[in-house]
Structure 1
Amino acid sequence: MTPTSEILLCCLLWARDGEAEALTEYEDGVLALIPRHGGEVIQRAVGDGADGRPHEVQLYRFPDHSALDAYVADPDRVALTGVRDRVVARTELFPVALR
C-alpha cells in the first residue's frame, strides 16, 4: 500500500446559546470554500445540541497539509472570524480514518 499525505478530519461544533441557526449559516459559507483548496466535505450532520451534544459533526478531507493550511488562511474565511467568534462556543477537530 502506498502511503498518502491525505488528511481526513472530523470536526465537532457547539453553538453559543441562541446561535445554532447562525452557526449553521456560518458553516454553510466556510465549508463552501473547501473545494477551492482541493478539499472535500464528505459528510455534514446537524443536531439539536441538547444535553451537551455538538450542533454539527463534519467529516472532510484535504489532499495534504498545505491544502489544509491554505483553507485555514483563505482570506474569505479569515474575513468571517468575527462571525465565528460570535456563534461558535467550542470546536473539536481531530484526524480520523474511515473503515
Structure 2
Amino acid sequence: MTIQLCVLLWARPGAVDALNAYEDKVLALLAEHDGRLVQRARTVDGAAPDAPAEVQLIEFRSRSGYDGFLADPRRTALSAERDAAIARTDLFPVALT
C-alpha cells in the first residue's frame, strides 16, 4: 500500500533557514525507508503572511516504511532542532496524479 502525503510547514519567526536546514537533514533519510520526496516548494516573498514556509509531497511504498521513517532515531534525535525551527505542521494524505 503506497502512502502519499502533503506536508505544510510554518517556520517560527526568523527561523526559515533553520526550518530548511532541518528538513534537508530529515528528508535525506526518506530513501532508507522506501520513501521519496516527490516535490518540495518554498514560499516566495510576497506570499500571504499566513502561508506555510514550505510545502512537500512525499511518497512511501509501504506503511512500514512510513512508520520506520517516523521512528528513525536519527530523525527523533533532531526533535529539539525541529521544535526551535517549526511552529506548525499540517500533514494529510493525498492522491498524486
Classify the TM-score, shorter chain. over 0.9
Q: Does 1:16 align with 2:16?
A: no
Taking the aligned partners of 1:46 and 1:32, their CA distance within structure 2 comes to 17
Runs of 4+ in 1 over 3 A off after TM superposition: none
SS of the residue 2:49 aligns to? helix
Contact residue 9 and residue 54 of structure 2 kept, 8 A: yes
Deviations 1:21-65 (Å, cap 9, x if unpaired)?
A: 100010000000000101010000011464100000000100111
Contact residue 10 and residue 52 of structure 2 kept, 8 A: yes
| TM-score using structure 2 length | 0.94
> In the TM superposition, what is the alpha-carbon distance from 1:98 to its structure 2 partner?
1.8
Within the candidate set 55, 58, 66, 1:57 is matched to 55
Within the candidate set 77, 81, 84, 1:83 is matched to 81
| TM-score using structure 1 length | 0.92
Within the candidate set 31, 40, 45, 2:41 is matched to 45
User: What percent identity do the matched residue pairs reach?
Assistant: 52
Q: Name which structure has the greater RCO, CA cutoff 8 Å, separation 6+.
A: 2
Which residue of structure 1 aligns with residue 22 of structure 2? 26
Structure 2: state its 5+ residue gaps. Answer: none
Taking the aligned partners of 2:73 and 2:88, their CA distance within structure 1 comes to 22
CA RMSD of aligned residues (A): 1.0
